[in-house]
């Protein structure tokens, strides 16, 4: 089974790549490295070699918007008698804040890039895709936990591009219900790192998200954590989110591939989260207990565009994919911390 993994060098993609390779999949990574390091690929190889695992991994440095490149990837795969059976599509831009400042970049990379990819897949008769969508598409939560049939109402450009791609996938499936096999996974908050500390999250510049910021405070790269509001309508006043261990998320992709393989055709939109909500204060407390680090923090005003609470109903993923998240919040803190300690400057 040969998988084209776009964005395979990024935070999520690298963990999926490693898991697929460990499970005998032949993986072709396409990444422009605009938000990741080529050291990721070296690390994956070192890890697999250290475990004496035989693997088939190829990497192409390129852009999903480059149609000629995509054509050549599919043509070469066919000519070399190792056609791409399935695509896991993660490549794209993911910063909510940046998407508000540079909206056209997000429509270009995320939407036109995905359109390009789907056009090429259709041309070369590859009809199976797992797409990385986001909980951002739900916007303001009207009911918790959030089910897949919750209203879709994104409040930022990034989320709107994810909805546009989901709509594209929907229309494509409806155009020939016997042909396409499609899963759109709506991720909540993927955090932590691989337990080996060989791969993990390495944001460029100052992290926007809670977890990488927290580990950088713990290692001394940032002075203190700013908590964006302690007056939310939550138990302790800080924001509540659904944090899922990155390896649980990766396993959700493996389960999705197995599900697609068992089907003649399908279209499913599926939440991937832990199913639990934790507040910022709870995260800090658990991190301090698990690692022994003290996290200095200050309370700031609410961040624009934030919401009080968001956590997933994951019963659909459990039912359809036979998948359950296995790692605790403690494991998330430990693995995230070990990654940061062993790689204080990330991959550089
Ligand atoms: P990431 O930035 O670490 O990974 C994305 C990868 O795509 C990077 O390696 C980047 O270099 C590559 N890329 C970007 N534009 C490209 C292009 N035009 N052509 C080829 N490669 C390109 O991000 P991530 O956290 O691993 O996220 C992966 C996917 O999951 C994204 O689509 C993101 O929107 C989605 N997602 C992420 C989160 C999250 O919290 N991390 C949550 C929900 C959804
Ligand atoms: N948060 C915070 N300080 C930070 C980053 C985030 O207090 O430096 C809060 C944020 O307000 C939210 C939670 O932590 O309540 C998770 O934020 P993150 O950006 O990680 O995820 P998202 O809000 O995109 O789900």
* Per-residue pLDDT of the chain in tens (348 residues, 90 and over written 9): 999 999 999 999 999 999 999 999 999 999 999 999 999 999 999 999 999 999 999 999 999 999 999 999 999 999 999 999 999 999 999 999 899 999 999 999 999 999 999 999 999 999 999 999 999 999 988 899 999 999 999 999 999 999 999 999 999 999 999 999 999 999 999 999 999 999 999 999 999 999 999 999 999 999 999 999 999 999 999 999 999 999 999 999 999 999 999 999 999 999 999 999 999 999 999 999 999 999 999 999 999 878 999 999 999 999 999 999 999 999 999 999 999 999 999 998
Report the distance separating Cα 205 and Cα 98, nearest Å.
Answer: 13
- Give the model's pLDDT for residue 305: 78
Within-domain flag for 37 = yes
* CATH number of the domain enclosing 222: 3.40.50.720
CA distances (Å), origin 189, targets 112, 122, 123, 192, 273: 25, 31, 34, 10, 7
Report the distance separating Cα 280 and Cα 228, nearest Å.
Answer: 9
Which ligand has the minimum distance to the alpha carbon of residue 225?
Answer: 2
CB 88 within 8 A of CB 3: yes
CA distances (Å), origin 109, targets 8, 96, 253: 16, 14, 22
- Give the model's pLDDT for residue 326: 98
Of all protein residues, whose CA lies closest to atom 16 belonging to ligand 2? Answer: 210
- Give the model's pLDDT for residue 213: 97
What lies within 8 Å, CB to CB, of 287 at 6+ separation is 214, 218, 293, 295, 333, 337
CB 37 within 8 A of CB 202: yes
φ, ψ at 220 (rounded to 5°): 95, 10
Distance 11 CA to ligand 1 centre (A): 7
* Catalytic residue of the set 47, 106, 127, 158: 158
Within-domain flag for 247 = yes
Catalytic residue check, 158: yes
Within-domain flag for 348 = no
- Give the model's pLDDT for residue 318: 98
Ligand 1 atom showing the smallest separation from residue 136 Cα = 43
- Give the model's pLDDT for residue 306: 87
Within-domain flag for 347 = no
| 34 CB near ligand 1 (under 6 Å) | yes
Of all protein residues, whose CA lies closest to atom 11 belonging to ligand 2? Answer: 228
* Domains held by the chain: number: 1
Within-domain flag for 163 = yes
DSSP track, 143-185: SSSBPTTSPP---SHHHHHHHHHHHHHHHHHHH-TTT-EEEEE
| 35 CB near ligand 1 (under 6 Å) | yes
Report the DSSP beta bridge partners of residue 29. Answer: 5, 59
Ligand 2 atom showing the smallest separation from residue 227 Cα = 7
18: containing domain = 2-342
Within-domain flag for 242 = yes
- Give the model's pLDDT for residue 334: 98
DSSP track, 205-217: SS--SHHHHHHHH
What lies within 8 Å, CB to CB, of 232 at 6+ separation is 238, 239, 240, 302, 308, 309
> What residues line ligand 2, using a CB cutoff of 6 Å?
189, 208-210, 213, 225-228, 239, 241, 280, 303, 306
Within-domain flag for 319 = yes
Report the distance separating Cα 82 and Cα 40, nearest Å.
Answer: 24
The structure tokens listed for 175 are 């155009």
| 257 CB near ligand 1 (under 6 Å) | no
């Amino acid at each position: 089974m040969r998988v084209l993994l776009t964005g395979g060098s990024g935070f999520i993609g690298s963990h999926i790549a490693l898991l697929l390779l460990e499970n005998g999949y032949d993986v072709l990574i396409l990444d422009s490295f605009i938000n990741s390091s080529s050291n990721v690929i070296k690390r994956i190889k070192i890890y697999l070699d250290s475990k004496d695992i035989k693997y088939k991994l190829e990497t192409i440095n390129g852009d999903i918007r480059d149609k000629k490149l995509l054509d050549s990837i599919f043509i070469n795969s066919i000519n070399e008698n190792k056609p791409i059976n399935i695509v896991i599509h993660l490549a794209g831009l993911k910063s909510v804040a940046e998407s508000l400042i540079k909206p056209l970049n997000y429509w270009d990379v995320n939407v036109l890039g995905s359109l390009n990819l789907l056009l090429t897949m259709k041309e070369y008769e590859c009809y199976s895709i797992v797409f990385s969508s986001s909980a951002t598409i739900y916007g303001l939560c009207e009911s918790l936990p959030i089910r897949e049939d919750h209203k879709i109402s994104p409040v930022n450009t990034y989320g709107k591009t994810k909805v546009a791609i989901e709509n594209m996938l929907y229309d494509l499936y409806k155009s020939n219900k016997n042909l396409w096999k499609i899963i759109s996974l709506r991720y909540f908050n993927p955090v932590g790192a691989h337990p080996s500390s060989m791969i993990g999250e390495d944001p460029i510049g100052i992290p926007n998200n809670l977890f990488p910021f927290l580990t950088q405070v713990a290692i001394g790269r940032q002075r203190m954590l700013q908590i964006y509001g302690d007056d939310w309508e939550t138990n302790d006043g800080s924001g509540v989110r659904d944090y899922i261990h990155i390896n649980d998320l990766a396993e959700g992709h493996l389960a999705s591939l197995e599900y697609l393989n068992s089907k003649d055709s399908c279209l499913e939109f599926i939440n991937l989260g832990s199913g639990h909500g934790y507040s910022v204060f709870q995260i800090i407390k658990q991190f301090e207990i698990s690692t022994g680090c003290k996290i200095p923090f200050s309370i700031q005003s609410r961040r624009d565009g934030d919401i009080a609470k968001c956590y997933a109903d994951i019963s659909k993923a459990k039912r359809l994919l036979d998948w359950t998240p296995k790692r605790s919040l403690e494991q998330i803190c430990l693995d995230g911390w070990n990654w940061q300690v062993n790689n204080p400057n990330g991959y550089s």
